Structure formats: structure tokens, C-alpha cells
Amino acid sequence: MPVPGVHADHPVDETCPAAVLRHADAGDWEQAIEHAGHLADGTGPLTARAAWPATMVLYLQGRLTEAESVSARVRDDPDPAYGADQALLAAWTASVAWARGDVAACRRAADLALPLARAGGRPRALAAAHTVHALLAAARGDRRDNDRHYALALTAAEASGDRTQQLRIRANRASQRLEEGDLAGALAELDAALELTADAPEPHPTMVGLAQHNRADLLLRGGRLRAARDGFRAALTTLQRAGADGAAYPLTGLGESYELCGHLPQARTAYEEAVLVASSAGIVQALVPALCGLARVLAATGDPAAGPTAARAVTASTDLTGAVARAALGWTMVAAEPAAAREHAEQAIGLARAARNPAALADALELAAMTEPPAAAEPLLVDAARVWTDIGDPVAAARVALARARIGRNPAADQVIAEHRLRALEVETATGTRSLAPSVRPPGSPVSVRMLGSFAVLHDGEPVPVAAWHSRKARDLLKLLIARRGRPISREALGEALWPGENAVANRLSITLSTLRAVLDPGRRAAPDHYLVTDAAGVAYDPRTLPVDVDAFLRLAEAGAAALGGGRVDEARVLLEAADAAYPGGVLDDEPDLEAVRTLRDEARTMYLTTMRALGTACAEADDTDGAVRAWRRLLDHDPYDEDGALRMVDVLTASGRHGEAARRYRTYATRMRELGVAPAPMRRRPRTRLRP
């Protein structure tokens, strides 16, 4: 007797069609998969009722070619009694086309599915039909229609008791919420999705694995990179145990988690495996993101395969993935062909806006910024940072903040903070992709000046030999200019400072300026006013192009004090510790009698003492006794008579129970006060009230 659902003229010699659905509904997916595979091996024609369960199971396994072969054997059946089965077959056929990246075929099948499902009246069919219409709405950027179809799909899936469809819908809605930056909404969907796995019958393991993948993706977007990697590994295990080709998704997630950390060899390995799995299964929706990630990694490491890899992603992309693919192609060109990269960035921006994909938009804006000079890059980076922040991606926001710091007005302080934030997120700032890639970073100045401790002009970190100056006056001129911290000084004042009491020194000053320019730029690679600016107001050095160590120190110290005053204690500590490290000694300690730099020397020394007080306070507020003591000890090394610093150190030692050390420090303090003829304050048994400096 022929099996129900199989045409009598070419019967299948097994009970496969009925068995597939029976085992699937019971949650026995291993048996359902086995029977679906047997059915796919056949050649005879099938009815929709026989074919749709196998098409569904094979689609869920990622076995798209077999799913297509089953659905292709179905004969048209005009019997309205089988309308729901026809709807289910059309809906799952549409899902297969979607996975292939064939949006047109998906739409044709989906347009058949929904009217049939409505006519048939079965909730299961309505759920499947509305789901594919939700996917198509997302592809055309219609979020409202996407929401509407998913809501209808979920209601129908719950009415039918189909846990696999419920899990699929909730996982997809979580992905949508995540794209929009609604992390709380995504988490709520995933919590509800994973609750479906607690009771029998179990949903298909592919949907379980993809829900686990989406939860890991949520952790990734939230900056919890280590936890995200663990989540992707769990999803990968679930999918591999099920033998599902959807394993390409968590492999891509693993690749991205490594990429964001700057662990590029591991990222490449994961992406390459994802590409292999997705290519083998023909799952275009998984293939394109994997190719994009691989292209970015290859570009960052200088591999010539980066461009062809990104071009392959563009060719395979759909409306949903086109923006990311275009941006990936741009990232492979940004270092060598910035104009071409900018064109791809503009295309990616347009595609991202059309698809209403904010993450892709921010990626494209970041790319566009890397093709521009600093003045034009700044607003693009501001826009990118705003989008990354709005969608709750702290890693990307911190990465863009670092890119802004490198081209900003206060790179010393801003870069320290941006790098600290990235390190706190377990991101290595020396390696990475996008704007962290070494090839796209703005080049540092080849020349810098050391004023702290001793004087030197450095080319690529190497001091210029004294003999190369040919003029002591050129050295003195630069010291005079730096003492002004970028403020112009008139030619008359310079002439008097360099040749006091002499007349007619204008020509000598011009020669000295030329000598100094030759020392700063011996190859004459820059314009004459690149490092030294001369105009009607006088002569000055340009702090934006000529880095000076004392400038960097003062900016770090000022930013640290401001952060502490604003209550941002952790940020203050990072900046103040960086300022401490940036102060190896006073301004031109080896020339203590040089009157021209006295004001700058006093300013830097005062700022250093203020920095140590602030750092001691910040460490004490963070209950870091050792850090506080270390800061106040350095303060006292420079000013042994600082009463407040000495007493604060005694107080923090007392509060931490280190009474012997506190007593020794108090005796030293008392001795210093008596040297000045000042009565020492009595030693307190309780800590003094902490005051901000």
C-alpha cells in the first residue's frame, strides 16, 4: 500500500514522509533527520504533505541542496484540503531560498505561502508564512512590517505548539533588536527563546544553537568579549553535535570576537573555517559575514588575498548584507587606494541607511573617516561614535574614540583614556582591524623634542647629534620657542634674547631660523611653516606638528586633575599615572641657570606636585594604599616639606593598619617641620578627612 502523501505511480518504499513529521513533533530530531535524508535520496514525485516536513528538517540542518531536491519533486495539487500543506511547503521553500541569498525566489515562494496559509487556517502554516515575510520585510528595510509579521508568526506558532518555530521567531526578533541597539529587548527575546528548550518536545537543535549564538552576539555587542567567546563555543558545540551546517554562524562569531580583541591569527582561523562550512552548504547568509570578517583581518595583516575575499563577499551579498560587504571591500583598499575606499564607503552608507542597519552605517562612517584628512575625518568619527554608542557597542565606540584622539587637539590625554577603555574591554590597541589597523593609523611625527631632564631633538626616536646643529643659537632658539608653548614671540624679542644688546640682528635671526628648520626637517619633506610658523605676530612652533614632551605631560596632568574634580576617579588615576610616567625630570635640569625656561620649569614642577597630590587622593579613594603611599612618597621626594602630603600618607597608613610605617613617616614629617621652625601637627589615630587637591 502506498505511503500517504506519496503519489501512487511512483511510491517510496518506506514510511519516511509520515515518520519525518512524527519524529519531529516528538522532538526526536535524529530520527526525523534520518528519515528526511532517505526521502531526499528518492526520485519519485511527492505531494506537499509528504514533502514539507522533510524540506523543513533538511533546511534546519543546513542541507539546502537536499531540501531543494525534495521540494522540486512536488506536483501541483489543486485539492484545497491540502492548502495548509502547500503553504508549509512554500514557506519552507522560501526559507531555503533565503538561506541561499536568493531574495527573488524567496519572495515568489512567500507570496504563495501566505494566501494558502490563510485559506488553510492552520496556525503552523501561518507561522511559517509570516516568518518568511518578516525576513523579506527586513531585507527591504521595512522594520514596521518586519515587526508585524513576526508578531503574527509568534502568535500562530504558540497556538500551534510548534516550539521550533517559536524558537526561530524569537531568535530572529532578538537579532533584529540587537541590530537596532535594543539590548534589553534582545535579551528578553532570548530569555524567552531559551526557556523553550527546558521542556519536551525539544526544538530542533539548529534553532537552539542559533539562539545560543544570538545570545553570544548580544554579549559581544555589549563588550563582554570573553563571555561572548564562551557563548559562541557553546553554540558551535550544539550545532556540530547535531551535524548542522549552521555551525558557520558561531564560527563567524568566534572570528569576530577574536578580531575585536586584536587576536588576528585566531580570528583568521575561525573565519576561514566559517567560510569553508558556509560555502560547502551554500548558506549565503552565513557566508557573507564570514568573508567580510576574513577580508578585514587579511587587510590588517597585509595579505594580498584581502581584496579578492571582500570582492567575493560583495558578489554574494544581498540587500541585508550589502553594506557590510561594501565596507569590507573599502577596508581592504583604505591604505593604498583611499579614493576608491571612499567610494565604497559612500555606497555602504547608502545601503546601510536603506536597510536601516545602524551598525553597518557606523562601520561605513568609520571607514569614510579613515580616507580623509583630520579636519574632514573628525565629523565622520563623531557620527560613527554616536551611532555605536546609541546601539550599545562599547568596543566600537572606544575604538572610534581612539581614532579621534589620534587626530585631535589633545592626543596625549585623549589617547591614554581611549587606550585604557579598550584595554579594560580586553582589546589590544597595537593590533586590530578597521581604524585600529596599523596601516590606517595617522602617521606620527618623525620629529619630536625632549625638554624634560635634558634637551634633545629626536628623529624617529634618535637624538640629533650636537655636531649636526652647526649653531648653538639654533638650539637656544628652539628652547625659547618651546618655553612659550606655541605662543608667538616677536622677532625683536627673539633677537634681544639671543644677542642681547646687539643691533641689526634680523639677518642673523633669519639664518638661525633656516638652520633650525634644517635640523627639524633635514630632508625638506614638509612645508617651511610645518614645524615653525612665522608671520606678522612673530615666530612660534606648531604644537600640532612638533610634539614636545613637556606639552604632553602638562596636558595629561591637566586632564587627570579635571577628571578627579569631576568625580571620575578611575579615569583620573589612568591619566595621573600616565602624567607621572611622562615626567622623568624637570625642564632642562641639566641647564638650571637658563632663565628663558624658568617660567615653564616652574609651571611643570608645580603641575607635577599637584599631580602627585591628586594621584595620592585618587588611590586613597580607591582604597589602594600602596598606590597612595607611592604617590605621596614621590611628592615628598620632590618637596620634602609638603605638610599636607606627609600627613595624608600617615593617615592612609594608619587607616590601613600599618601603624609602624605610619609612625616612621610621622617622625620624618616632624623632623622636616622642625627644620623650618614649624610645630608639627599631632599624629591622629583616625584618618584625616579626604579633600580633593
Task: Give 481-498 pLDDT, tens digit per residue.
Answer: 999 998 999 999 999 999
pLDDT, greater one: 57 or 526: 57
CATH for 447-547 is: 1.10.10.10
Taking the C-alpha atoms of residue 297 and residue 252, their distance in angstroms, rounded to an integer, is: 12
Average model confidence (pLDDT) across the chain: 91
Same fold, 16-242 and 269-440: yes
| Per-residue cell: 675 | 627644620
| Per-residue cell: 506 | 634680523
In the block, cell 502506498 appears at 2
- The CATH number of domain 16-242, selected from 3.40.309.10, 1.25.40.10, 3.40.50.920, 3.40.50.1100: 1.25.40.10
Taking the C-alpha atoms of residue 415 and residue 659, their distance in angstroms, rounded to an integer, is: 40
> Comparing C-alpha atoms, which of 362, 326, 359 is closest to residue 344?
326
- The CATH number of domain 550-675, selected from 2.40.70.10, 1.25.40.10, 3.40.50.720, 2.30.110.10: 1.25.40.10
The 447-450 sheet, strands edge to edge: 447-450, 456-459, 462-463
| pTM of the predicted structure, to 2 decimals | 0.78
| Segment among 78-82, 304-308, 605-609 with least mean pLDDT | 78-82
> Comparing C-alpha atoms, which of 642, 632, 618, 619 is closest to residue 692?
618
Predicted pLDDT at 97: 96
The mean pLDDT value for 554-563 works out to: 91
List of long-range contacts for 478-481, beta carbons under 8 Å, 24+ apart: 478/449, 478/516, 478/541, 479/451, 479/455, 479/588, 479/594, 479/596, 479/597, 480/596, 481/532, 481/539, 481/540, 481/541
ω into residue 308 within 30 of 0, thus cis? no
CATH for 269-440 is: 1.25.40.10
The mean pLDDT value for 560-582 works out to: 91
Look up residue 35 and give its amino acid. Answer: H
The mean pLDDT value for 654-679 works out to: 90
In sequence order, the 6+-apart residues with CB closer than 8 A to the CB of 284 are 99, 100, 101, 102, 278, 316, 318
In sequence order, the 6+-apart residues with CB closer than 8 A to the CB of 560 are 413, 572, 573, 574, 575, 576, 578, 579, 611, 614, 615
Tell me the pLDDT tens digit for each residue of 495-553. 999 999 888 888 999 999 999 999 999 988 889 899 999 998 899 999 888 999 999 99
| Per-residue cell: 544 | 600640532
Taking the C-alpha atoms of residue 282 and residue 138, their distance in angstroms, rounded to an integer, is: 21
Taking the C-alpha atoms of residue 130 and residue 90, their distance in angstroms, rounded to an integer, is: 12
In sequence order, the 6+-apart residues with CB closer than 8 A to the CB of 409 are 544
Tell me the pLDDT tens digit for each residue of 425-436. 999 998 999 999
Alpha helices by DSSP H, listed for 521-585, are 549-565, 569-581
Alpha helices by DSSP H, listed for 304-459, are 306-316, 322-333, 338-355, 358-370, 374-390, 394-407, 411-424
Predicted pLDDT at 470: 87
Identify whether the C-beta of residue 487 lies closer than 8 Å to the C-beta of residue 477: no
Does pLDDT of 6 surpass 50? Answer: no
Instruction: Provide the residue ranges of all domains of the chain, joining segments of one domain with +.
Output: 16-242, 269-440, 447-547, 550-675
At 450, which helix (H) or strand (E)? strand 447-450
Identify whether the C-beta of residue 324 lies closer than 8 Å to the C-beta of residue 289: yes
Q: Is 676 helix (H, G, I), strand (E, B) or coil?
A: coil
Predicted pLDDT at 693: 47
